[in-house]
């Protein structure tokens, strides 16, 4: 028997992404789970950011951002960047992260995250409380540590996921 509940998207397992964006006096980081692949050519993503977030204004102003994929060792940093605002603290300093220059855009990457996607905003769509920033991936970086013979090796990544409805983080298990 099925149980019908209030409509929600929170049951869908989500990525945990650290979006970094340029800002003054310092760049900012926001944890995001409303992140999706939306197109292969040009390679494009969509990220949903609530309009009241500090990062929302920064992304709108910069017109670009970096999606940094953390590994399990960055869980505490993901919680910090997902609960504190860049209006109040310097999240790079708070998390012990280092900002390094991107190759194609003005927003910096997080050096400590093994994967970084440089993105340029192409379109903003407003379905409701979140604005969707649709952006093209213009450069892609991967730490050698998460590769084997030059290819991405998921086992070396220690990726994790977020289940919004339960508010829990889960590491990814074995290959199926
Ligand atoms: C796991 C996780 C996922 C989140 N996903 C989103 C999201 O997709 N969109 C959003 O607007 N806020 C999301 N948040 C909340 C923001 O990260 C949080 O409000 C943050 O403190 C905003 O920072 P800022 O004010 O510096 O922009 C998420 C928080 C957590 C912990």
78-116 tens-digit pLDDT = 999 999 999 999 999 999 999 999 999 999 999 999 999
**Is residue 175 in some structural domain?**
no
Establish if 130 belongs to a structural domain.
yes
Nearest-angstrom CA–CA distance, 160 and 17: 10
Return d(Cα 124, Cα 2) in angstroms, integer: 37
**Residue 103 within any structural domain of the chain:** yes
Place of tokens 């399990």: 72
Q: CA torsion 164→65→159→35, rounded to 10°?
A: 30
Nearest CA to ligand 1 atom 18: 82
pLDDT tens across 3-38, in order? 999 999 999 999 999 999 999 999 999 999 999 999
User: Taking all residues of the chain, what is their mean pLDDT, rounded to a whole number?
Assistant: 97
Report the CATH number that the domain containing residue 123 is assigned in CATH: 2.30.110.10
- Ligand 1 atom nearest the C-alpha of 86 is 26
Asked if residue 6 belongs to a domain, the reply is: no
C-beta 30 within 6 A of ligand 1: yes
Average pLDDT (134-152) is 97
Residue to mutate (ligand 1; options 82, 91, 93; most atoms within 8 A of CB): 82
Q: Which atom belonging to ligand 1 lies closest to the Cα atom of 58?
A: 27
171 found inside a domain: no
For residue 40, give its domain range: 14-166
Please give the pLDDT value at position 92. 98
Q: Determine, yes or no, domain membership for 111.
A: yes
Distance 54 CA to ligand 1 centre (A): 10
* Cα–Cα separations (whole angstroms), residue 62 to 19, 54, 58, 131, 150: 13, 13, 6, 15, 32
pTM (2 d.p.): 0.98
Per-residue pLDDT, averaged over 127-143, amounts to 98
- Closest residue (by CA) to atom 20 of ligand 1? 82
Task: Count how many domains the chain has.
Answer: 1
Question: Is residue 146, in this structure, part of any structural domain at all?
Answer: yes
Q: Report the share of the chain in percent with pLDDT over 90.
A: 97
105 within domain boundaries: yes
Q: pLDDT tens across 30-49, in order?
A: 999 999 999 999 999 999 99
pLDDT for 174: 87
Q: Is 169 in the pocket of ligand 1 (CB under 6 A)?
A: no
pLDDT of residue 173: 81
């Amino acid at each position: 028997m099925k149980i019908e509940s209030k409509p929600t998207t929170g049951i869908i397992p989500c990525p945990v992404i650290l979006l970094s964006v340029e800002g003054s006096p310092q760049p900012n980081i926001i944890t995001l789970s409303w992140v999706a692949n939306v197109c292969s050519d040009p390679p494009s993503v969509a990220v949903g950011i609530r309009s009241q977030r500090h990062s929302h204004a920064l992304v709108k102003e910069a017109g670009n951002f970096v999606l940094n994929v953390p590994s399990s060792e960055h869980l505490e940093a993901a919680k910090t960047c997902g609960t504190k605002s860049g209006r109040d603290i310097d999240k790079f300093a708070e998390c012990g992260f280092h900002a390094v220059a991107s190759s194609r855009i003005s927003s910096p990457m997080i050096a400590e995250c093994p994967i970084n996607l440089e993105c340029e905003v192409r379109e903003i769509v407003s379905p409701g409380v979140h604005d969707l920033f649709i952006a093209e991936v213009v450069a892609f970086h991967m730490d050698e540590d998460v590769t084997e013979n030059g290819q991405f090796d998921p086992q070396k990544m220690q990726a994790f996921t977020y289940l919004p409805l339960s508010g829990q983080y889960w590491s990814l298990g074995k290959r199926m």
